[in-house]
Structure 1
Amino acid sequence: MTAPIILIVDDEPANLTVLSTLLRPLYTVRVCKSGPQALEAAARDPRPDLILLDVMMPGMDGFAVLNNLRQQSSTAEIPVIFVTALDDTVDEEHGLQQGAVDYITKPIKPTVVLSRVQVHIEVKQARDRLKSQNTWLESEVQRRMRDNLMIQDVSLAAMAQLAETRDSDLGSHIARTQSYVETLARHLQSLPKFAVHLEENTLQRIVKAAPLHDIGKIGIPDDVLLKPGKLTPEEWSRMQGHCQVGGNAIERAIAATLPLYNTSSQENKPESLLFLEVAKEIALYHHEKWDGSGYPFGLAGEQIPISARLMALADVFDALTTPRVYKRAWSIEEATKLIFEQRGKHFDPAVVDAFQAELQSFIQIKERLTDAPIED
């Protein structure tokens, strides 16, 4: 094991000789005779584990040296013991206030010096071990968080794909609608009215939760979900139930997860719970309409969460422009015309305005993730 490094700083050669002779059997010793030399030596790798610093030196005194050491990140944490002939408690207090860890008066007593040096070297080594352990722990926490997020993302993708595979007409619906939602959210994020509701963490949760908007379709019978023709009023009512099926399923997941964290404060809720709450909003309310004529609750205007308002337009645009067994795919022009007509009716006017501004982005997403040729 490498011996700890002690840097001794004193303008008197005799003092350097005495301290060096005392410490060399136990430590690696470096010496220098002035403040500027001390600063250079302290910054050179390997850095000293402890500095014994004379106070009364010509030019740059020990107080100035210590001040400079503390201002540099590379030397700020090196412990410094002042060694001085001064015995005024005011000077001692001044040195300790500046950041010295101890004070040794001249003429030195060998046992005192060895004892003080040993104590502060052991403290430094313990601090270094703790810092190393903390660095490792932080790295391990980050690694496990990445692993957990990856597992969560894979699980969410699997759940969303499970809902998608039950509806053979959906194709890349999930990927497209997720991209549409992010495009709209990014546009609105820059507007003062929406900035607080779409700060970056919230926006990321909305985008991440978007694929779960139709998770409730898992609970819809095949004879309704996969019917190739028009649904009867009764069948349509059952199909509308997918919003509450999905919302209730996510609510049960929240209820099951909440006790694990023992928190009721929104500020202290873990990311997984905040994400599930957004996913519940989207699943439950994405078929509500701005004018109150939607389902399942007939909410209107800003009663509808912004996450669901974004999803509503993205979902309708994709449904219109995607071919189904019971209909052809609408052209971009036809779909856009209907969405503009539904401004303030089906859709939040601000979301429609964002759609109009980002129409080319929607077209590019559609072309990149299309399942069939697009009519222009």
Structure 2
Amino acid sequence: MNVLVLDDAQINVTLLCLLLKKIDKCKSVSFSEPEAALAWCANHVPDLIMVDYMMPAMNGIEFIRRFREMDGCHDIPVLMITANNELELRYQALDAGVNDFLIKPIDKIEFLARTRNMLALRKSQRFLEDKAMWLDESVKKATAEILERERETVFRLSKAAESRDPETGAHILRMANYSKIIADQLGLSSQDQRLILEAAPMHDVGKVGIPDNILLKPGKLTPEEFSVMKQHTLLGYEILAGSSSNLLTTGAEIALAHHEKFDGSGYPNGLAGEKIPLFARIVAVADVFDALTSERPYKKAWNKENALAYLRDGSGLHFDPVCVDAFFAGLDRILAVKNLYKDDQY
């Protein structure tokens, strides 16, 4: 246990340090100038402060006020040693953060008893701090394990949908990363950026419930077939909704609304404008751009210029203009992602 002793009279410092040697596992560090003691405290955390009241440059109360303002020093026990027994002084010292007092001349037995009591208090504080830190680390570890299981669930659900869909695994990686870039350009928090990156791959999970003759049809769907295809948004929502997981709940929201259009002409609920959840508006831009620029059994890939023109033309109609602007603001990063994840590699 480290005890900081501060007194402008060297004889007093020497006396206190000699007495502290009688306490097991107690180490003293002494100062005769308050500024030097504060400088030491900036890089070390003492277990107990012993401070004189009467000092020429800075009295003990001012020293304690400044000490208490330092990080990690709010709860450190402080013992003030003074020849002044006035109540007003004690009130000021208590207000500044002093925990106990000793009156000069010091009684050896009282000094040792009070010091041991205050070090025992500090030892209890440190035990609780260590326990709180251990609990915090345990919670973080458990939370990380839960998040990892969630991510595995998302991956498996996305793979299940992908196995029945002509779209490739690279499409899922690209559109999820596009979504994260758009979210970043919109100024969303790093937590939200991570959330949309992990939830976006679930956007088409409902396709697991669409019949193969419709899902894998190489040509244009009939109105009746398209009506069935549109059900994948509702199926995806039903698969993911109702979970206590924020990730799966967000995935459900995206699955349900990523085919809504800004002008209200989309499906399944005909939502318009900001009534469409923001994450779904972001994913709509990312998903359509990648779908247009990717080759499928039923279509050729569009070139980049035509796909970008489609997004511009659809701004305010199909797409949220703010999300389109964010997409173009991050276009260099988006094209880098497109080049990174190739269809033939995933």
Please give the range of the TM-score, normalised by the shorter of the 2 chains.
Answer: 0.7 to 0.9
**Aligned residue in 1 for 2:21:** 24
Cα distance in structure 2, aligned partners of 1:249 and 1:355? 29
How is 1:63-78 mapped onto 2 (pairs within 5 angstroms)? Answer: 63-73=61-71, 77-78=75-76
> Which residue, 250, 260, 263 being the options, matches 1:291?
263
Question: What amino acid is aligned across from residue 296 of structure 1 in structure 2?
Answer: P
**Aligned residue in 2 for 1:164:** 162
Question: C-alpha deviations, 1:321-369, integer Å up to 9, x for none?
Answer: 2222222222223333433443333333343444455544443332222
For the aligned residue pairs, the C-alpha RMSD in angstroms reads 3.3
Runs of 5+ in structure 2 lacking a partner? Answer: none
**Aligned residue in 1 for 2:182:** 184
Cα distance in structure 1, aligned partners of 2:37 and 2:300? 78
Give the 3-state SS of the residue equivalent to 1:52 in structure 2: strand
> Which residue, 96, 103, 106 being the options, matches 2:104?
106
How is 1:201-212 mapped onto 2 (pairs within 5 angstroms)? Answer: 201-212=191-202
1:300 aligns with 2:282: no
Cα distance in structure 1, aligned partners of 2:204 and 2:108? 79
Give the 3-state SS of the residue equivalent to 1:172 in structure 2: helix
Maintained 8 Å contact 2:200/2:251: yes
How is 1:318-357 mapped onto 2 (pairs within 5 angstroms)? Answer: 318-357=290-329
Query: Which stretch of the first structure deviates more once superposed, 356-365 or 284-293?
Result: 356-365
Cα distance in structure 2, aligned partners of 1:358 and 1:40? 49
Cα distance in structure 2, aligned partners of 1:67 and 1:99? 7
1:94 aligns with 2:66: no
Question: What amino acid is aligned across from residue 289 of structure 1 in structure 2?
Answer: K
Cα distance in structure 1, aligned partners of 2:256 and 2:13? 78
Flag the 1:158–1:79 CA change in 2: closer, same or farther, 3 A.
Answer: same
Flag the 1:85–1:276 CA change in 2: closer, same or farther, 3 A.
Answer: same
Query: Which stretch of the first structure deviates more once superposed, 172-181 or 303-312?
Result: 303-312
Query: Which stretch of the first structure deviates more once superposed, 94-103 or 167-176?
Result: 167-176
Maintained 8 Å contact 2:31/2:37: no
Shift, 1:120, TM fit: 0.7
Structure 1 stretches of at least 4 aligned residues deviating more than 6 Å after TM superposition: 44-47
Question: C-alpha deviations, 1:56-102, integer Å up to 9, x for none?
Answer: 34554433443454354476654221222222111222222222211
Maintained 8 Å contact 2:6/2:34: no
Flag the 1:32–1:38 CA change in 2: closer, same or farther, 3 A.
Answer: farther
Question: What amino acid is aligned across from residue 147 of structure 1 in structure 2?
Answer: E
Question: What amino acid is aligned across from residue 296 of structure 2 in structure 1?
Answer: R
1:137 aligns with 2:135: yes
Question: What amino acid is aligned across from residue 23 of structure 2 in structure 1?
Answer: L
Question: What amino acid is aligned across from residue 286 of structure 1 in structure 2?
Answer: H
Maintained 8 Å contact 2:166/2:296: no
Maintained 8 Å contact 1:11/1:34: yes
**Aligned residue in 2 for 1:244:** 234
Shift, 1:295, TM fit: 1.8
Cα distance in structure 1, aligned partners of 2:10 and 2:292? 89
Question: C-alpha deviations, 1:196-233, integer Å up to 9, x for none?
Answer: xx455444433331111001011112232223344343
Give the 3-state SS of the residue equivalent to 2:343 in structure 1: coil
Using the size of structure 1 for normalisation, the TM-score is: 0.78
Q: How many correspondences in the alignment?
A: 344
Flag the 1:228–1:125 CA change in 2: closer, same or farther, 3 A.
Answer: same
Flag the 1:57–1:281 CA change in 2: closer, same or farther, 3 A.
Answer: closer
Question: C-alpha deviations, 1:242-274, integer Å up to 9, x for none?
Answer: 0100012222x33xx3xxxxxxxxxxxxxx33x
Question: What amino acid is aligned across from residue 308 of structure 1 in structure 2?
Answer: A
> Identity of counterpart residues, as a percentage?
39
